[in-house]
Chains A and B, each alone.
Chain A
Amino acid sequence: MTAVLELAGVSRIYGEGATQVRALVDIDLTVDEGEMVAIMGPSGSGKSTLLTIAGTLDEASEGTVTIDGTDVAGLSRNARAQLRRRSIGYVFQDFNLLAGLTAAENVALPLELDGVGIRAARVAARDALEPLGLAERAGRYPDELSGGERQRVAIARAVVGQRRLLLADEPTGALDSVSGEDVMRLLRRACERGVAGVVVTHDAQLAAWADRVVFLRDGRMVDQTARPAGPESLLTPGARP
């Protein structure tokens, strides 16, 4: 297994002295290629801070963040922005699609911003939309799509090109439970195709889609689940929980 994301001794401290807030404390977390990890915890537990640091949108006060073997602290501002564009995809609760662009244009945008030619970017966008069942909807604008479809476009945008790390913050929060399940199924498949996924949530049903669930409390990792046994363990009465 190749580690895509490695946090070692990561802390994030805001302010100083009496007003100091330790949002994250001494986090050690490795996410491998093909693995989906859920970070579960209540509001204020540091989940979003962790995701922001993993996505290089914020810097750790202590510790090291390594993405695909590169220590991000050693990167210039520009190199870090390039890493974000090329290697990291984000999925947010409220989709964050640009209303004036079609589904395909939204998906192609990060590649175009990175200097990929329009034609090649469009081909990559189609390739990303197709496995999400959106090939037919590629020319539609976000307001012509359902909530579930918009989130699928956002997933396509997050994995388009050669992305290595997929970060999702409450990705099904705005969806009903069956559409939310579709989104989680697709995130899982995206991870199985070789991306490392981190999903932040307070929702146990969402977290249960992950290979591993890490529990955060007051900025600290307090626990994590074992890798689940195969589903066949449910089929014998004695093994049922």
Chain B
Amino acid sequence: MSVRHALLALLSEGPKYGLRLRQEFEARTGEMWPLNVGQVYTTLQRLERDGLVESEGGESEGPQKGFRITGEGRRELAGWLRSPAEVGSPPRDELVIKVLVALIVPGTDVREVIQAHRRSLVEAMQRYTHLKASAPDDDVALALVADAELFRLEGIVRWLDTADARLARFPQPAAAVLPAGIHASDGDTEPEAHPELEGRR
């Protein structure tokens, strides 16, 4: 989440004080991303340094200091809205690694491991759904944020469902070999896109 661009977006509606920017940021994101006031001021200082916003109100500092967006700031915001979002998968997906590791740990039922993860994901989905269900119908910001989380979590559940179905079809021997490139205890190898797949190619 780019706080920098969110603040530019709020300022594109008109000049605002720092405190108000923080309140509006939280309200418009369905209050799912709490922001501390220090973050707001640090970001505003950087935006000012880069010529994307200007402060008004002369010498006053703190909550009374107002900010307005510059022409350069509007161009930056328009470009950001249309630039592709980062959707690449993380270099190491912890859940994928846990399931792969479960395949080789003696005495581990990998399908039971899958179910434990499925349950906790569905419980998280229940919390987001209940949040959506208890909010007013016209709270679109909250529904959009909750939907985004629900679709993301559902995608993971579907991966687990598929993994479960594959394992039902092709049960793995307990002593399967960990693919090359995976080191269960090693958390900081080079950031390749999908190191866990390297050994398969």
Complex interface residues of chain B between 97 and 122 (CB less than 8 A to chain A): 111, 115-116, 118-122
Report yes or no: A234 in contact with B128, Cβ–Cβ below 8 A: yes
Residues of A within 8 A of B122 (CB): 40, 204, 207-208, 213, 225
Nearest CB of chain B from residue A87's CB, rounded to whole Å: 26
Number of A-B contacts (CB under 8 A): 78
Complex interface residues of chain B between 117 and 132 (CB less than 8 A to chain A): 118-131
Interface string of B153-172 (1 = CB under 8 A from A): 11001100100110000000
23 contacts between A and B (CB under 8 A): A42-B161, A42-B164, A42-B165, A202-B161, A204-B122, A204-B125, A204-B157, A207-B122, A208-B122, A208-B129, A213-B119, A215-B115, A215-B119, A223-B115, A223-B119, A225-B123, A225-B126, A228-B127, A230-B130, A231-B134, A233-B127, A241-B121, A241-B123
Task: State the CA gap A33–B10 with chains docked (Å).
Answer: 47
Number of A residues contacting the other chain (C-beta, 8 Å)?
30
CB of A1 within 8 Å of the partner chain: no
Contacts A208-B150, A237-B34; A226 near B123 (Cβ below 8 A): yes
CB-based closest 3 A-B pairs = A231-B131, A241-B124, A208-B125
Nearest CB of chain B from residue A85's CB, rounded to whole Å: 31
**With A40-B122, A202-B161, A230-B130 given, can you name 10 additional A-B contacts, CB distance below 8 Å?**
A205-B154, A207-B122, A207-B125, A208-B125, A215-B119, A217-B115, A217-B164, A228-B130, A229-B127, A231-B131
Residues of B within 8 A of A225 (CB): 119, 122-123, 126
Number of B residues contacting the other chain (C-beta, 8 Å)?
31
Q: A residues touching B (Cβ–Cβ < 8 Å)?
A: 40, 42, 185, 188, 202-205, 207-210, 213, 215, 217, 222-226, 228-231, 233-237, 241
Residues of A within 8 A of B127 (CB): 228-229, 231, 233-234, 241
Residues of B within 8 A of A235 (CB): 31-32, 34
Contacts A204-B154, A205-B150, A222-B115; A228 near B31 (Cβ below 8 A): no
CB of B184 within 8 Å of the partner chain: no
Nearest CB of chain B from residue A168's CB, rounded to whole Å: 16
CB of B85 within 8 Å of the partner chain: no
Task: State the CA gap A205–B149 with chains docked (Å).
Answer: 11
Give the contacting residue for A205; candidates B32, B116, B125; CB below 8 A.
B125
Task: State the CA gap A224–B123 with chains docked (Å).
Answer: 10
CB of B1 within 8 Å of the partner chain: no
Report yes or no: A213 in contact with B131, Cβ–Cβ below 8 A: no
